Amino acid sequence: MKIAVVICTKDRPADLNQCLVSLAIQDYPLCELVIVDASESDATRRLVKGFDMPHGPSIEYISSPRGLTLQRNTGIRRLRSEPDVVCFLDDDVEIEPGYLRNVARKFEADTEGRILGVCGNAANEKPRGIFDRMVRNLFMITDNRSGKILPSGDGGHIYSPRRDETVAVLSGCNMCYRREVFTQYGLAFDEVLTGYAFMEDHDFSFRVSKYGGLVQLADARLVHHVSPVSRPALRDLFENYIIHSFYIFRKNHSPQPFEYLCYGWRLVGKFLQAFQLTLKSRSVFPLSGWISGLLRIRKLVKRVD
């Protein structure tokens, strides 16, 4: 089984180096490795050009405008080897030895091709506390325990699964799809979700799930460092959550009145989270981001109608 890896990056050469080292020591060969770089400096290009993959393919470096969904689509279009599986890794991820082999094993065992995508197990992710889970369950915000889509439209992968689990949403830091997702079904990442593209993984994997199964693997392990570099400010994070979640909710779910009520209740929960973080950080930015997101919803969702 041929596996290609696409890594989208922006101004994180140190993180990217760790990711490439973890790929270089895998015991399963890659057929292709593409780096799509939107960095403002030349450091990432110099790193990639000088990096040696002793048992893998030469790295293809692509300079790209900023935007995660745009960069992912660019990486897909530049693949030349017709891989069986395309893996998208965040630049701040380190995959553990055996990760690629476990991914390949899962797809190879599925001889009928019912599984279209898998993601791994971020070993450093910690389950949420009891109080946090209670609040999330009350307001229909995912607590990353079920892997299902809630009536409010929210969903997520599972924290530290002990066995392979069927899920509705894959983790965007590491998600692997059969080539048919892009060829036979013609799916692409939604470039309406610009910049940091918060929740683009939710949107894409949920659309894939309409055609086949998604599985989170227990033994394909990794560490997600969640680099602080090139991340959105708190205001932008809450604003993007509001506008992107509603856009995805309307686009993918064809909601009825009850689902709208559930989504609204979910936003009340996010308001409380923003308010709590505003008090904790002594900054108005989380709350102002939540308000700004509500004001921008009408303009954004016109693209769906």
Task: Give the model's pLDDT for residue 302.
Answer: 57
Task: Give the model's pLDDT for residue 300.
Answer: 58
- Give the domain ranges of the chain: 3-125+160-224, 234-301
Q: Which residue has the higher pLDDT, 171 or 128?
A: 171
Q: Mean per-residue pLDDT for 154-170?
A: 94
Q: Which residue has the higher pLDDT, 7 or 280?
A: 7
Q: Mean per-residue pLDDT for 264-277?
A: 94
Question: Residue 280: CA atoms inside 13 Å, Cβ hemisphere, count?
Answer: 8
Q: Mean per-residue pLDDT for 277-302?
A: 86
| Mean pLDDT lowest among 44-48, 51-55, 117-121 | 51-55
Q: Mean per-residue pLDDT for 195-211?
A: 93
Closest CA to 101 of 120, 88, 79: 120
Residues 6+ apart with CB under 8 A from 262: 140, 150, 151, 152, 153
Report pLDDT digits (tens) over 77-98.
Answer: 999 999 999 999 999 999 999 9
Q: Which residue has the higher pLDDT, 54 or 91?
A: 91
Which ranges of 9-63 does DSSP label H, i.e. alpha helix? 13-24, 43-50
Residues 6+ apart with CB under 8 A from 276: none
Q: Mean per-residue pLDDT for 133-139?
A: 92
| Mean pLDDT lowest among 7-21, 174-188, 249-263 | 249-263
| Mean pLDDT lowest among 54-68, 123-137, 265-279 | 123-137
How far apart (Å, rounded) are the C-alpha atoms in residues 204 and 116? 12
Task: Give the model's pLDDT for residue 303.
Answer: 54
Note whether 77 and 164 are within 8 A (CB): no
Average pLDDT along the chain: 93
Closest CA to 207 of 117, 302, 86: 117
Report pLDDT digits (tens) over 227-265.
Answer: 999 888 889 999 999 999 999 999 898 889 999 999 999
Decide if pLDDT at 298 tops 80: no
Angstrom CA distances, 125 to 122, 160, 161, 230, 237, stand at 6, 7, 11, 20, 20
Beta-sheet pairing, 85-90 with 115-122:
unpaired
Class of domain 3-125+160-224: alpha beta
% of the chain beyond a pLDDT of 70: 97
Closest CA to 10 of 67, 93, 48, 61: 67
Task: Give the model's pLDDT for residue 168.
Answer: 94
How far apart (Å, rounded) are the C-alpha atoms in residues 261 and 257? 6
Confidence of residue 297 (pLDDT cuts 50, 70, 90): confident
Decide if pLDDT at 204 tops 70: yes
Decide if pLDDT at 304 tops 70: no
Task: Give the model's pLDDT for residue 2.
Answer: 97
Q: What are residue 25's phi and psi, to 5 degrees?
A: -100, 10
Note whether 106 and 115 are within 8 A (CB): yes
Task: Give the model's pLDDT for residue 254.
Answer: 82
Residue 111 tokens read as 């001889």
Report pLDDT digits (tens) over 104-130.
Answer: 999 999 999 999 999 999 999 988 888
Q: Which residue has the higher pLDDT, 281 or 44?
A: 44
